[in-house]
Amino acid sequence: MSTTAVSTSPNSPPPTPSAAEVFAFADREISTAAATQWPHADLDLGDHIPSVTTYVRRIRVDGRPLYAKYSLLGMSLVSLLRGACGPWPQARVAQQEYVQRRDALIEREAAQLRLLARAGRPRVCPVPGVRRGVLFTEPVTGISLARLLLDRRQDSAGLLATTLGELRELHRPAAVQRLGPAGAIGERSIAGTFQRKFNGLSGPAYVQRLGADQRVAGDREGVVAVLRQVIVRLHRIRARTVPQQYRRVLAYGDLKPEHVLFPDGVDQPPVFIDPGLLLAGTAVDVAKLTSRSVLTLAAARPGPKTGQHLVDGIASVTAERMEDLPLKARRSWLAEVLLLWLMDSVNILTTYLSAPAELPLPHQGTALVGRTADLCQMLDRISASLAAADATSTVWETALDHAQGIAA
């Protein structure tokens, strides 16, 4: 039942938006934007692509397939549907004002894609247009890195190295000048997202409700207790960690295996989608790719052999990255990768667990919710080792062992 259909008393909170009304509004905005961009074209809205962040639909313009992405107030769909922006009439008015801003999330993402297209590396999906807060991108054919890590497990090290290798130009100090602070997408910062979700008075209440609307296997209260413990640990570790400021680069930011596609075969450079460029340390992209690759394992459960190949690949590319660092910086850099890996995994897992039942989850999200207890055990063990200030190299090796175990 839609939350907007529930009658309220004067003392009850205002109704939160329903997925149906938010999606219907987004569809109208996409249709209007497409008609404005291509006034004489035949338009056909296609399938909705499940996401917990932005609203995405396939669309055909004179038979040409495109993706249409629409961000509501620059926040996740989960937060919007949970009432972070108030009741739907209030949020809708705010959205109509938001899309006029030059710093709206979609405007920045479009600018980043165009910046990367001009640079030529990494390759990115083309942008046919941006109108009324809607970003239109061309689909990229080819198999994703996520699929390849499962289907070609023996090539994991090479695939991960190729992916990170495409970002070397971004990771050079000179690249920082390409993107001013106003063009960064700080909303996708791992540490920033973690701090925003789990700080202040709202953080504990948010954690307490995790899994209330999702089918979590096992003891929900036990899962919540473990996650609460992990979050407290990560806050403490972050408080005692001094960020490495000696080298800030242009990080890709939203580096996920499903965002890297190989349209021309694995021996040719991949194409990247959904950038989240931000000024950060070099650990950010390594941590995000590690976190999401391990979650790919957890969702697919391909078995220990695939898990072994993947963690060996992660170990290989991480060691290669550390070779570029001064000897004294390597330990702290690896500790930062570990911390950001854990933070990112907690961020996405809790987003899935907090999603309203009416919001369709992507396939991986549904699979991870079903493995919440296993994932929490892994996060608990790794964070406990990191909090104990054990030798960083030992914690790293143990973390990779746990990652291999999650594949079984």
Enumerate domains of the chain plus CATH numbers: 3-137 (no CATH), 143-406 (3.90.1200.10)
Residue 70 forms beta bridges with which residues?
A: 55, 134
Give pTM, 2 decimals: 0.93
pLDDT at residue 8 tops 70: no
174 token code pair: 């000179």
Q: How far apart are CA 116 and CA 103, in angstroms?
A: 18
Q: How far apart are CA 94 and CA 324, in angstroms?
A: 46
Q: How far apart are CA 223 and CA 219, in angstroms?
A: 6
Residue 129 forms beta bridges with which residues?
A: 136
Peptide bond into 269 cis (omega under 30): no
Contact 78, 48 (CB under 8 A): no
Q: What is the mean pLDDT of residues 272-289?
A: 94
Binned at pLDDT 50, 70 and 90, residue 242 comes out as low
Q: How far apart are CA 341 and CA 318, in angstroms?
A: 13
Calculate what percentage of the chain has a pLDDT beyond 90: 81
Q: What is the DSSP string of 228-297?
A: HHHHHHHHHHHHH-----S-EEEE-----GGGEEETT-TTS--EE-S---EEEETHHHHHHHHHHHHHHH
Contact 315, 161 (CB under 8 A): no
- Residue 13 has a pLDDT of 58
- Residue 14 has a pLDDT of 64
Q: What is the mean pLDDT of residues 362-388?
A: 95
Work out the mean pLDDT of the chain and round it to a whole number. 92
- Residue 333 has a pLDDT of 93
What's the count of helices (H) and strands (E) in the chain, helices before strands? Answer: 15, 11
Q: How far apart are CA 287 and CA 290, in angstroms?
A: 5
Residue 135 forms beta bridges with which residues?
A: 69, 130
Q: How far apart are CA 197 and CA 193, in angstroms?
A: 6
